[in-house]
């Protein structure tokens, strides 16, 4: 899939220039277009064929990160009970920006390769495979629902699904009463057909699929389908359940096969670090620029500003106040957070000097042992590097805090009782606390932080009819991202 360094010039074709455009080795432009037409009969794909072309390492990482951002945001919204039209409206801008649906070859290429790259990332353990299948299936469902009826029909016709057949009109008439009783509640709840005459008219023109009941086992329990002789009768408007189940089953099988081929990458020193970074499940995001102006020590003492702080920053500040000192990793994490929040170098030096000298540390010792490092954090000493605040992935990659250390992520590092007490002090309702604890148990720490943000700073209930989440109500992946969104204007 990747060109070796020595071949980058020798094997360029089709007008590849300095921009490093993708090359599909050995294919003409017409053959390349025909291949994507085969893979994407209607803007969607089951990704049945593996990649045969070459892409640059920059495309490899950039495309995979973009798709991972989409999957993380979709997973977060589903965990926060977004569904249906609300979910579609929330995801549409992000999909249009990072992973657009369309007939353009470049959009299809990005979708195609990014899917297979993430297969490499998430095939290594059963837990990663399960998570990837769940996320990709949710993306598939969302995209299918965003297609027009004509595109949906074209896509379904292109699939070679086993044991699927439409019943004829005679069989529909024979089972008419039972079929209508089974489908009528879904016509009301899914299609919002509140009038009985509308439901009868829709049923008259609806076609039904006949397939083995185990293919739609999730619809059998709630009695959304009619069962007869081991067959399930599925209305066409609910066919997505069967198609998505087939997609998930094939993807799970393909991921296990991909895992068997991973040893072939052992000799490449470029790809394993990228794959390990991506499979961590966290997107490295630069901190958002401060929007509330400069931050001072007096601001940190004010309740509106403190209420906007993420739990990791609160823990560091509490540890600093109690001990008048933080160890190296704690100083680094908090100093960079405050820098990203808008605190100037001069204000930071005053803040740290006041905090340390309130304890046993003298001002002379502070200036001798800590001043240089703090100025270095702001790029004022040494190589004058402008260090970025730590994102969630960086924090989670650091060693867990030992005794009398306060760095790290509270959702990973704090004892359950301590975390529950902190959440109660933030006045989280019991359902929100339960959601946070469930996310922590699944080791989805950024999702736990997102739940806390929603509970403390969400402005509209997720169940409100017609509510469309604001663009900034996305997955929290950075402490400064939390602060800037929650910070009072």
Q: Contact, 321 vs 355, CB < 8 A?
A: yes
Q: Are residues 113 and 257 in the same domain?
A: yes
For residue 125, what are the domain limits? 31-158+248-282
Label residues 190-222 b or e (16+ Cβ within 10 Å = b): eeebeeeeebeebbeebebbbbebebbeebeee
121 is in an annotated binding site: no
Q: Looking at the structure, do residues 200 and 145 belong to the same domain, yes or no?
A: no
DSSP H or E stretch at residue 488: none
Give residue-wise pLDDT tens across range 467-489.
333 334 468 889 999 999 888 76
In terms of pTM, does the model score above 0.75?
Answer: no
Residues 352 and 445 in one domain: yes
* Rounded Cα–Cα distance for residues 16 and 35 (Å): 20
Answer yes or no: is 25 within a domain: no
Name the range with the highest mean pLDDT among 54-58, 364-368, 378-382: 364-368
Q: Specify the number of domains making up the chain.
A: 3
27: confidence class by pLDDT, cuts 50, 70, 90: low
- Asked, for residue 200, whether it belongs to a domain, the answer is yes
Convert 160-169 to b/e letters by CB count within 10 Å (16 or more is b).
Answer: eeeebeebee
In 392-459, at which residue ranges do the beta strands (DSSP E only) sit?
A: none
Determine the 3-state secondary structure of 100 from DSSP: coil
Are 131 and 76 within one domain? yes
As a residue count, the chain comes to 489
- Residue 382 covered by a domain: yes
Q: What is the pLDDT of residue 17?
A: 35
Instruction: Determine if residue 392 is labeled as part of a ligand binding site.
Output: yes
> What's the start-to-end Cα distance of the chain, in Å?
49
Verify that 307 and 454 share a domain, yes or no.
yes
* Annotated binding residue 123: no
Answer whether residue 264 is part of any domain: yes
Whether 4 is covered by a domain: the verdict is no
- Residue 381 to residue 138: CA distance in whole angstroms: 49
Q: Are residues 122 and 260 in the same domain?
A: yes
307, part of any domain: yes
Same domain, 151 and 170: no
Residue 209's pLDDT band, with cuts at 50, 70 and 90, is confident
Q: 207 and 338: one domain? A: no
Both 449 and 376 in a single domain? yes
Mean pLDDT along residues 380-385: 85
Query: Tell me, what's the pLDDT at 183?
Result: 84
Q: Given a cut of 80, is residue 294 above it in pLDDT? A: no
**Encoding tokens for residue 134?**
């769940």
pLDDT at 452 over 80: yes
Tokens at 321, concatenated:
């106040």
Among the listed ranges 10-14, 148-152, 244-248, 359-363, which one has the minimum average pLDDT value? 10-14
What span, in angstroms and rounded, lies between the C-alpha atoms of 405 and 27?
Answer: 58
Exposed / middle / buried, residue 485 (Cβ in 10 Å: 0-12, 13-18, 19+): middle
Q: Does the residue 16 lie in any domain?
A: no
Mean pLDDT of the chain: 82
* Contact call for residues 209 and 233 (beta carbons, < 8 A): yes
Alpha helices, DSSP H, located in 15-166: 29-39, 57-79, 84-98, 105-122, 126-146, 149-158
Q: What is the pLDDT of residues 3-23, one digit of tens each?
A: 433 333 333 333 333 333 343
Q: Which DSSP category does 385 fall into? A: -
| pLDDT value at residue 72 | 86
22 part of a folded domain: no
For residues 111 and 136, membership in a common domain is answered with yes
Verify that 169 and 154 share a domain, yes or no: no
């Amino acid at each position: 899939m990747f060109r070796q360094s020595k071949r980058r010039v020798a094997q360029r074709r089709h007008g590849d220039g300095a921009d490093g455009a993708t090359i599909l080795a050995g294919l003409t432009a017409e053959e390349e277009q025909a291949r994507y037409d085969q893979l994407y009969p209607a803007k969607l794909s089951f990704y049945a064929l593996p990649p045969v072309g070459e892409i640059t390492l920059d495309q490899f990482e950039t495309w995979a990160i973009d798709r991972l951002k989409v999957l993380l945001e979709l997973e977060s919204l589903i965990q926060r009970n977004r569904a249906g039209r609300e979910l579609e409206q929330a995801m549409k801008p992000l999909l249009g920006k990072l992973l657009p649906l369309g007939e353009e070859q470049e959009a299809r290429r990005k979708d195609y390769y990014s899917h297979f790259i993430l297969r490499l990332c998430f095939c290594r353990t059963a837990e990663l495979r399960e998570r990837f299948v769940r996320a990709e299936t949710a993306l598939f469902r969302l995209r299918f629902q965003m297609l027009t009826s004509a595109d949906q029909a074209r896509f379904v016709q292109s699939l070679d699904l086993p044991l699927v057949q439409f019943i004829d009109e005679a069989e529909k008439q024979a089972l008419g009463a039972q079929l209508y009783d089974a489908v009528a509640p879904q016509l009301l709840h899914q299609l919002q057909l509140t009038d009985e005459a509308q439901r009868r008219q829709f049923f008259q023109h609806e076609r039904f699929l006949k397939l083995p009941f185990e293919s739609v086992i999730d619809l059998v329990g709630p009695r959304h389908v009619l069962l007869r002789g081991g067959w399930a009768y599925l209305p066409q408007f609910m066919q997505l359940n069967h198609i998505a189940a087939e997609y998930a089953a094939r993807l799970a099988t393909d991921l296990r096969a991909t895992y068997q081929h991973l040893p072939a990458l052992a000799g490449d020193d470029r790809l394993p670090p990228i794959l390990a970074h991506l499979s961590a499940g966290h997107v490295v995001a630069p901190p958002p620029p401060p929007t509330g102006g400069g931050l001072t020590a007096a601001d940190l003492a004010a309740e509106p500003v403190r209420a906007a702080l993420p739990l990791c920053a609160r823990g560091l500040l509490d540890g600093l106040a109690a001990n008048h000192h933080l160890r190296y990793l704690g100083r680094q994490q908090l100093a960079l957070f405050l820098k990203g929040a808008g605190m100037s170098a001069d204000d930071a030096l005053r803040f740290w000097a006041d905090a340390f000298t309130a304890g046993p540390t003298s001002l002379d010792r502070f200036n001798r042992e800590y001043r240089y490092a703090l100025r270095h954090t702001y790029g004022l000493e040494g190589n004058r590097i402008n260090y970025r605040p730590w994102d969630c992935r960086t924090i989670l990659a650091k060693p867990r805090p030992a005794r009398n250390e306060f760095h790290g992520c509270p959702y990973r590092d704090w004892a359950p009782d301590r975390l529950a007490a902190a959440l109660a002090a933030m006045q989280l309702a019991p359902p929100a606390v339960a959601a946070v604890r469930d996310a922590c148990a699944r080791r989805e720490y950024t999702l736990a932080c997102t739940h806390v943000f929603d509970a403390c700073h969400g402005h509209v209930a997720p169940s409100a009819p017609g509510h469309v989440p604001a663009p900034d109500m996305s997955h929290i992946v950075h402490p400064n991202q939390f602060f800037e969104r929650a910070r009072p204007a």
